[in-house]
Structure 1
Amino acid sequence: MDYAQFKVESEKVWDVLDAKVLPPTLQDDIARLKELAASLEDPRQRWRAEGTILSIEGVIREGEAAKEEPWSDAMNEAVQVHSAASDDSGTKAERIARITAAMAEIGRIADSAPSDEQYAIVEMNGSLAMLRSSLEPDAE
């Protein structure tokens, strides 16, 4: 299995996080992501995949902690920014620039988010930081 396959599967999970009602299969999908991540041979790719899973779980934890709707518009916006930043298209320099801009945007979103979601939103930057680190010239 390669990281591109993991990426496709993780994007499916990120996409359902936009929904106000989460599908009952979400925990099974996350378990499958963990299995896929564990099967990655490249340690850097495995690290990136594990970071993505941690971000997803953080978003879900914060949504479950909310007594009302699973997440705010700010959380939905942050999930969309994270997803766009994780796109594999472009050169390494373009991807690094896109990730860096997204991290700043996620920080801005977190600042204006409801207090019970701020941590989960900021936590999304962790997987983006790992992705950016793996793309930087000295990472190879």
Structure 2
Amino acid sequence: MATGNKEIVRRALEDSWQDPGVFDELISSDYVGYDPALPEPIRGPQGAKNNFKQYSDAFEGAHITVKDQIAEGDAVATRWEGRGRHTGELMGVPPTGKEIVVEGLNLTRLRDGKIVEEWSNWDTLGMLQQVGAIPSATAAQTR
């Protein structure tokens, strides 16, 4: 089952960029997702789609690549990389046209072949620095 769970999580992370409908297939109706960049938990497949949309609207050609996965029981840990060109507003930041690369880790819990809970930690600071919303440490030091 661990291999099957890894594939479900991989599909949710990678395939959703081409077909957000996979959220309806793979995410449980009682899903709760936690992301420190968000003020409230993400709830259900529609909440996951809404959260996804803010990034897919802001980054042209956006995609995630799963780099590593470890599964045990009903849990899957995933290390991933996201890429895209910043062509739409995100978190109040106007489009910059810059290519961004971020890395993250998710811990996902599944039940009956569906994702029910997920903790996501990713390099939000790095993304905001790459789009110029906040200065990088190097830029701050040269002032």
Q: Same fold (TM over 0.5)?
A: no
Greater helix share, structure number: 1
Greater strand share, structure number: 2
TM-score band, normalised by shorter chain = 0.3 to 0.5
TM-score (norm: length of structure 2): 0.35
Q: Which has the greater radius of gyration?
A: 2
TM-score (norm: length of structure 1): 0.35
Structure number with higher relative contact order (C-alpha < 8 Å, ≥ 6 residues apart): 1
